[in-house]
Structure 1
Amino acid sequence: MTDVVLAPRNAFVGVFVVWGVAFAASIAVGVFVPEAWRVSWMLVVFGALVLLSFAVQLWYGSAQGFIFRVACSVMGALLLTGIIAVGFGLAALIPA
């Protein structure tokens, strides 16, 4: 017998949290890390975001749609991190 959930939590809040952390961490790396180390630190940030995505979705505690939510979190984080990295890369090409 299954328990009836009267007001389930929104499963995609965790996805948006990971995207927000991806945005903030990528901007922080672009601002505070020297140009020579940005790519390396972006990879470190993305690895941490993958782990955060798993942790957030495991914390939610629902097996239904787990892989879809983790995939959305990771792909969104990858796109955000990549777009921000491209922006900082293009900004580095402009002479000061």
Structure 2
Amino acid sequence: MTEPALAPRSAFTGVIVVWAVAFVAAVAVGILVAEEWRIPWMLVAFGGTVLLSFAVQLWYGRTDGFILRVAGSVLGALLLMGMISVGFGLAALIPA
């Protein structure tokens, strides 16, 4: 049998890390990628954040609430990247 951890790591920290990576990835794609390639690269970046979410939560090492933590990470990353991509889309409509 394993002994319970005396001071377990915060589960919310992993969620915030995934959100931060999603923010940085979305802004980097929006700035560095040409307009016609932004959506495919946003999808690639979102796929990376999904994989990162699983990796972070598996590294956390607790089974209690695993699905909720992964779902929160992925849903938050999806909403964050969606809002950023809408912003870049609206900015693309403004004539230069």
Q: TM-score, normalised by structure 1?
A: 0.97
The code of the aligned residue for 2:57 comes to Q
What is the one-letter code of the residue matched to 2:23? F
Cα offset for 1:93? Answer: 0.1
List structure 1 segments (4+ residues) > 6 angstroms apart after TM superposition: none
Match of 2:11, SS state, is coil
Return the alpha-carbon distance in structure 2 between the equivalents of residues 70 and 29 of structure 1: 23
Q: Give the superposition deviation at 1:12.
A: 1.1
2:56 corresponding residue in structure 1: 56
Amino acid at match of 2:34: P
The offset of 1:6, in angstroms, is: 1.4
With 63-72 and 5-14 compared, the bigger mean Cα shift is at: 5-14
Q: How many residue pairs were aligned?
A: 96
In the TM superposition, what is the alpha-carbon distance from 1:2 to its structure 2 partner?
A: 5.1
TM (normalized to structure 2)? 0.97
Which residue of structure 1 aligns with residue 81 of structure 2?
81
Tell me which amino acid in the other structure corresponds to 1:79.
L
Instruction: Return 5+ residue gaps in structure 1 as ranges.
Output: none
Aligned to 2:12: 12
**Counterpart residue number, 1:25:** 25
Q: Percent identity?
A: 71
